[in-house]
Amino acid sequence: MSIQIKITNQLIPYKYALKYLHRRVESIKNGKGKELLWILEHPTTYTAGIRFEKKEVLDKKIKIIKTNRGGKITLHNPGQKIIYFVLNLNKRKKDIRNLVEEIEKSIIQFLKLYKITSNSDRKNIGIWVKEKKIAAIGIKVKSWIAYHGCSINIKNNLKNYKKIVPCGLNNSKITSMYKKKNKRFLNINKNLKKIFLNNFNNI
């Protein structure tokens, strides 16, 4: 199946990316557009999913962007990789659980390349290194077209999490690859692209 690959090195505003995803969903729905895998980073942005509660905002000065993805409030900031996708499940398996499991598997395989052992958790969506969360997942399915994606903390400023209750968690329970390994990570985009494309074949 033909998937467009986008790897963007400059920071992309969250609202711009969201509009881009929505346009692609409509295009695929109308039988015109290609599926999409887009790897990027956002400037510091707080976004709220459909299960967000106001009490999860600890610093009332921050601006929250509400979105239709699953999950609660989270942070995007430089040094965190975002893996967005738009996949047409009408031409794949109509199985949302399988989709989530393949995303989880992709993140776990990616982290393993850098000698970081991680796991998924049925009760708490996302990927964990011991008791700390290193990657978040939030998806939306419309007319069996799945979009949004996941984020992986590579070397981002974890202090920004102190302004919220991220994903319903104590903000001290968030970690990053750099915090675990304290070194430079090479070929991030290349490895993300290869692993996700490979596992999309199982969706």
Residue 22 near residue 139 (C-beta atoms within 8 A): no
> Which H helix or E strand runs over 109?
helix 96-113
Residue 194 near residue 101 (C-beta atoms within 8 A): no
Active-site residue list: 167
Edge to edge, the sheet with strand 119-120 lists 3-7, 35-40, 80-88, 145-153, 132-142, 127-129, 119-120
Could you give the CA distance from residue 146 to residue 44 in angstroms, rounded to a whole number?
25
Six token digits for residue 134: 């290193």
